[in-house]
Every structure is written in structure tokens, then in C-alpha cells.
């Protein structure tokens, strides 16, 4: 019977696709293949929709992966485009948004930071920037990490004394701030330096970030020697420190280029059915960092196919450079080049260098990709071994694919936050981490049990709506290779009380016992290694001090603790600097600025009389009454 059913499914898939082909145009476009659940399983592009989709009306000549895709298809959707390059860009957008299973998928779609030298103010500002380039100024990047940008900006401040404060902070200064005192800002806000001389510092900063580092270093060196000869030793020492800071920035780049001014380098390596793509960013003849990606792709695909699909998705929401160097010749090289050129507005060159400096840079990226994939495979192997050992230690029904760990953080109940971290075969799954602001007013401050109940109730109530259990008590998963939405194991930082609070939530929601609940109580005097484990229906127990599973569980618990504390501190910091004016409905950025400029502080606004509030530009009588009533409710 099972064989008969599969034959029917395969025939229906072919027939459905064949029916669509009859009415398809021969123009460029994008097609979507949809399964019986309404999920998009594949997105493709074509120069001729009719010719391309016709290839799916037979199994002969197609790989096993394509045959499975054909048999799973129950419907299709189409979008016509003017050109094939436009179809390529639309395909990349849909793949990133819909995440179809049979496509190559760029999973870690992080945004890379830039350094912005903002020129929308009389005194330019040096800041870190992410997202769209809306502000007027000069953008330098991308950098591989936010930390590298922070370090570079801090060092550039020492070298060029450019401010990084906000415009509102700048406008309200009456004396130089701490940044000027520690010689990281020239303080144009209070006239410690004229705007003309400050602009010279800005021009030098821009020149340095544009690749003219040697010229700027030589200039500062000459100024330092001249100051020394004049016995102006204080100024000479300042110039020496600035020169040292610039040398540090240049020396941070372990890989430099003499001929490559601006380029992105992509290198791919495949091993054990997995892929790793290393991306290096070169700007101003300097390496501004690299990042390893692990795209999801079928093992039957070639490195060239995966790399081509990866590059189109990588630049879907990014601006490409003029030059791109790749480790493998792309199958649709000219088409990708044309699509990226249209996106940039000027010619983009994609090449696979075979000799010289460019070849050496690509080879270095290739070696990095190989090493990174090797490390990940080793880590994954060790992770799977630990998960297998957990089955024996905790008497689980099967090897856990998803483990969730929960913890709370607060200070006497204030700024209370619940946190959830997730781990699987690939280690910590940080994109699945979640935090919960404790909202209930009925919870007594500091009541950890009540907080845990709220967090678990919100988490699993939502999960039941979005991905309900079936009759067998299992979540609806798309594929065994994906990280499931439902956890197999839940670890709670606490003893019997915390475990009871979690079980109470599960009983209330009517969930089965398919999810294993484990409480971890800290040992005497909170000693690591003396933890006691609690499970429903079993006696409490401890693990040997050097048991690998104990170390693993400790690592999970500590990660949850770290994440919870980080979210709590962020919430507390935000609460500390919160302006009382933010709580008043109708007070936006412009009115807030007007009130602060007029009265000097939020505290002064709270003490102001109604007649004084009306005098502020942009504050009507009605708004003045709202502000006055807010601070004078008694």
C-alpha cells in the first residue's frame, strides 16, 4: 500500500506541473513550487519560464533531489520580469524571505557595520552605523564585526580627535566633556578648536580611511619633529600619541594588499556534505575583517552552484563593491555580474584569479574556509556524542535535537527578565534565543516561581498556536534536518520548586509528557560539580564530578545565566537613562528637543508653570496642559 501511495504522489506532482506549463509564457520570471501544506519548497528563476518549468515534467535527467522536489509539488506560482537579471534579484529576495527547503539558503544573514563620518552638522561626527544609508556623510566598510568597528573608532578618536557624541549632546555643552579631558575629542562644541581647524582633522580622517594612511602618518611625523625642534614638547607628545594610534590601526590588519583597493573575496570549501564560505572585506588596501558562513545546501550540489546562489543572496540587501574575487568559476558568472552591476549602478567585475596577489588572497580565504569547516565538523561531532550520552544519563526516549534552558534575572523584582537559550547538534542556536519582560502585576517582586510560570506560559501558549502538537504529541516539523520548534528537553535553573512551577504550566496547557523536564539545583555553597538533578517520577541524583554530561549541562546553564543577566542589565540601563518626557503621549523628538532647549532639563520641565510651558515654541495650550497635568496629578 505504501508503494502504491508513493506512485500516486509522483504522478500527481508531474501532472500538476505539466498543467501549468501549457499556459506559461516564454518570458523571464520567477517560479515557486508549493507542497501539500502550502509551504514554498523551491524558488527558481528562468530566462524562459515555459522552457525551464518543462524540465520538471519528467524524472529522466534530473537528480534525486529534483525528483523529490517534483513529487512533493502540489501547486506553483509565477512572476514575470522584464529581464533575467531582474529575475535573479527577485529570486534571491524570495529565497531569503520564504526559506524554501530545496534551495541553497544563506542562514546567517547578519548585517555588517560601517564607520560613518557624518557631515550633516557643522562639526562632523564619527560613529558606528548599521542599516540603510540615510544620513549625509562618508561611509567606510563593511567591517566583519561590531567590536572591530568600536576598536577602530576609539583609536581614530585618539588619532584625529573627532567627536562621537550626539548632536543634541553637542548643542547643550557649556564646557568640554570627559572625552576632551582624556584627549579623544578636540571639543568644537565649546570652541576649544575653531571649526576650520576641526574640519582639517575631519579631512585627515577621511583621507586615512580612504587608504591614504602613509601620507597622513608622514604628515603627523613631520609636524611632531617640527614641534620638537621648537621645544613645544607638549604638542609633540600629543602628535606622538596620535601617530602611535594610527600605527596601531594599520598594524591590526594582518593581511594587507598592494593592488586590491576595494574588493570582496569569496572562497568555498565542501566536506562531509557541508559547505563553508569565507568572505573577506578589503577596503582602502586594508583587510577589514572576514566572516565564515555555513549555507544550507544539498550535498549533491557543486561548490560553484552553491557559491553562485550564496553571492546573489549575500548582496540582496547589501551594496556590492566594484570587484569580487571568487575561488570557483561561477556557472552563471555573466548573469550575476550583470545583476550586481544594475544594483550598484556601475560595472561590477567578478573574477576567478589564477596568479599574482589576487590569487594569493583567494587562496588564503580558501584555506580559512577549510579550517573553519573542519572546526565546525569537529564541534558538531563532539556535540552529537554529548547528546547521545544524555540519553543514558537522563533515560531519554531518543537523542534530543532541541534543548531549551530557562533562567530569570532581576534585582529585588525590579527590571525582571526571563531568558531562554537553545542548543542542538550544532551547539548554541543563538538566533533562537528569546527574552521575556515580566509583565504580570500579580507576581510578588522576587517571586522566581511566578516569573518562571509566566515565561513558560507565554512561550508554550504561543508555540501551541503557531505549531500545535499532533495526536501523537509531536510538533509538526518540515524535515528531520531542521532544528525543531518543539524542545525534547527543558532544563530549569532550580530545584523541586522551579520544576513544579514548570510542570504546573504544562498541566494547565494540557501538554503531554513528551518533553523531558530537568531541574538543576546548585550544590552546597553553590559549588560547580555538586549540582543535584530533579526529574518528575524519579529520585534526585548527582553526576560524577568529571562526567562530560555534567560539564555540558553546566555550560548550558551558564549560557542561560549569561544571557539573562545581559538582558536584565540592558533593561536596567535603559530604565536609568529614560527621560520622563518619553512617557507623555504626544511628545515626539522635536517637542522634546524644544522643551529641553528651553528649560535645560526634564526636571525643570516638571516644575514649570502652565504659563511658562505655553511660551515654548511648538507647544500649544492643549499640549501644555497635558504636560502640566502629567507632572502635577496630585
Contact 123, 189 (CB under 8 A): yes
Share in percent of the chain as helix, strand, coil (round to 5): 45, 20, 35
Work out the end-to-end distance of the chain between its first and last CA atoms, rounded to an integer number of angstroms. 78
Q: How far apart are CA 29 and CA 486, in angstroms?
A: 37
Per-residue pLDDT at 41 exceeds 90: yes
Contact 105, 40 (CB under 8 A): no
Question: Looking at beta carbons, which pairs linking 273-276 to residues 24 or more positions away fall under 8 Å?
Answer: 273/299, 274/299, 274/373, 274/376, 274/377, 275/303, 275/306, 275/373, 276/369, 276/370, 276/372, 276/373, 276/376
Q: State pLDDT tens for residues 388-420.
A: 999 989 988 889 999 999 988 877 666 788 899
Per-residue pLDDT at 515 exceeds 50: yes
Query: Is residue 524 very low, low, confident or very high in pLDDT (cuts 50, 70, 90)?
Result: low
- Return the higher-pLDDT residue of 500 and 231: 500
Contact 117, 64 (CB under 8 A): no
Looking at residue 483, what DSSP letter applies? P
Within 8 A by CB and 6+ apart from 525, the residues are none
Give SS3 for 133. coil
**3-class secondary structure per residue, 485-505:** CCCCEEEEECCHHHHHHHHHH
Q: State pLDDT tens for residues 561-587.
A: 999 888 888 877 766 556 677 777 778
pLDDT of residue 617: 85
- Return the higher-pLDDT residue of 185 and 107: 185
Q: Identify the structural domains of the chain with CATH numbers, from first to last.
A: 2-98 (3.40.1440.10), 114-251 (no CATH), 262-375 (3.30.420.340), 394-471+481-574 (3.30.420.340), 580-631 (1.10.150.20)
Within 8 A by CB and 6+ apart from 322, the residues are 262, 263, 344, 346, 347, 348, 349
Per-residue pLDDT at 473 exceeds 70: no
Write out the E strands in 426-476: 427-428, 434-437
- What is the pTM for the complete model shown? 0.71
Amino acid at each position: 500500500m505504501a508503494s502504491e501511495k508513493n506512485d500516486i504522489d509522483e504522478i500527481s506532482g508531474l501532472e500538476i506541473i505539466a498543467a501549468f506549463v501549457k499556459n506559461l509564457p516564454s518570458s523571464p520570471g520567477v517560479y515557486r513550487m508549493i507542497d501539500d501544506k502550502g509551504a514554498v519548497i523551491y524558488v527558481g528563476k528562468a530566462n524562459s519560464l515555459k522552457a525551464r518549468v518543462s524540465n520538471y515534467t519528467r524524472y529522466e535527467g534530473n537528480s534525486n533531489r529534483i525528483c523529490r522536489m517534483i513529487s512533493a509539488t502540489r501547486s506553483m506560482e509565477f512572476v514575470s520580469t522584464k529581464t533575467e537579471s531582474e529575475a535573479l534579484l527577485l529570486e534571491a529576495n524570495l529565497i531569503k524571505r520564504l526559506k524554501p527547503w530545496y534551495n541553497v539558503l544563506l542562514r546567517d544573514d547578519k548585517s555588517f557595520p560601517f564607520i560613518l563620518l557624518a557631515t550633516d552638522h557643522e562639526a562632523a561626527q564619527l560613529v558606528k552605523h548599521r542599516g540603510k544609508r540615510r544620513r549625509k556623510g562618508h561611509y567606510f566598510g563593511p567591517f566583519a564585526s561590531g567590536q572591530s568597528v568600536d576598536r577602530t573608532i576609539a583609536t581614530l578618536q585618539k588619532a584625529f580627535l573627532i567627536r562621537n557624541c550626539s548632536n543634541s549632546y553637542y548643542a547643550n555643552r557649556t564646557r568640554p566633556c570627559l572625552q576632551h579631558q582624556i584627549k579623544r575629542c578636540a571639543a568644537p562644541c565649546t570652541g576649544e578648536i575653531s571649526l576650520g581647524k576641526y574640519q582639517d582633522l575631519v579631512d585627515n580622517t577621511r583621507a586615512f580611511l580612504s587608504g591614504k594612511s602613509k601620507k597622513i602618518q608622514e604628515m603627523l611625523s613631520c609636524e611632531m619633529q617640527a614641534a620638537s625642534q621648537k621645544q613645544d614638547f607638549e604638542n609633540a607628545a600629543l602628535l606622538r600619541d596620535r601617530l602611535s594610534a594610527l600605527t596601531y590601526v594599520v598594524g591590526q590588519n594582518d593581511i594587507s594588499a598592494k593592488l586590491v583597493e576595494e574588493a570582496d573575496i569569496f572562497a568555498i570549501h565542501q566536506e562531509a556534505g557541508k559547505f563553508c564560505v569565507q568572505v573577506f572585506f578589503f577596503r582602502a588596501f586594508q583587510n577589514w575583517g572576514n566572516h565564515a558562513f555555513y549555507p544550507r545546501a544539498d550535498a549533491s550540489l557543486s561548490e560553484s552552484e552553491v557559491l553562485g546562489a550564496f553571492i546573489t543572496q549575500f548582496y540582496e540587501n547589501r551594496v556590492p563593491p566594484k570587484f569580487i574575487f571568487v575561488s570557483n568559476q561561477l556557472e552563471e558568472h555573466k548573469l550575476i555580474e550583470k545583476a550586481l552591476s544594475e544594483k550598484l549602478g556601475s560595472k561590477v567585475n567578478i573574477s576567478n584569479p589564477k596568479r599574482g596577489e589576487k590569487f594569493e588572497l583567494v587562496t588564503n580565504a580558501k584555506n580559512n574556509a577549510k579550517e573553519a569547516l573542519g572546526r565546525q565538523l569537529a564541534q558538531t561531532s563532539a556535540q552529537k556524542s554529548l547528546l547521545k550520552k544524555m540519553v543514558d544519563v537522563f533515560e531519554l526516549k531518543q537523542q534530543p535535537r532541541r534543548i531549551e534552558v530557562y533562567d530569570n534575572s532581576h534585582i529585588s523584582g525590579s527590571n525582571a527578565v526571563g531568558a531562554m537559550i537553545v542548543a542542538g547538534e550544532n551547539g548554541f542556536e543563538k538566533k533562537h534565543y528569546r527574552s521575556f519582560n515580566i509583565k504580570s502585576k500579580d507576581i510578588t517582586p522576587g517571586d522566581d516561581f511566578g516569573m518562571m510560570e509566566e515565561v513558560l506560559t507565554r512561550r508554550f501558549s504561543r508555540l501551541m498556536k503557531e505549531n500545535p502538537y499532533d495526536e501523537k504529541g509531536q510538533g509538526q516539523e518540515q524535515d528531520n534536518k531542521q532544528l525543531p520548534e518543539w524542545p525534547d528537553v527543558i532544563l530549569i535553573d532550580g530545584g523541586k520548586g522551579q520544576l513544579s512551577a514548570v510542570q504546573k504550566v504544562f498541566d494547565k496547557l494540557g501538554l503531554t509528557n513528551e518533553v523531558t523536564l530537568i531541574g538543576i539545583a546548585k550544590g552546597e555553597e553553590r559549588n560547580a560539580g555538586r549540582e543535584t538533578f530533579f526529574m518528575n517520577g524519579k529520585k534526585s541524583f548527582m553526576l560524577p564530578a568529571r562526567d562530560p554530561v555534567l560539564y555540558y549541562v553546566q555550560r548550558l546553564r551558564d549560557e542561560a545565566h549569561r544571557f539573562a543577566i545581559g538582558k536584565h542589565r540592558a533593561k536596567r540601563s535603559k530604565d536609568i537613562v529614560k527621560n520622563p518626557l518619553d512617557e507623555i503621549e504626544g511628545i515626539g523628538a522635536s517637542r522634546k528637543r524644544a522643551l529641553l532647549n528651553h528649560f535645560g532639563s526634564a526636571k525643570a520641565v516638571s516644575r514649570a508653570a502652565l504659563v511658562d510651558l505655553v511660551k515654548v515654541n511648538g507647544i500649544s495650550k492643549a499640549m501644555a496642559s497635558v504636560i502640566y497635568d502629567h507632572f502635577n496629578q496630585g
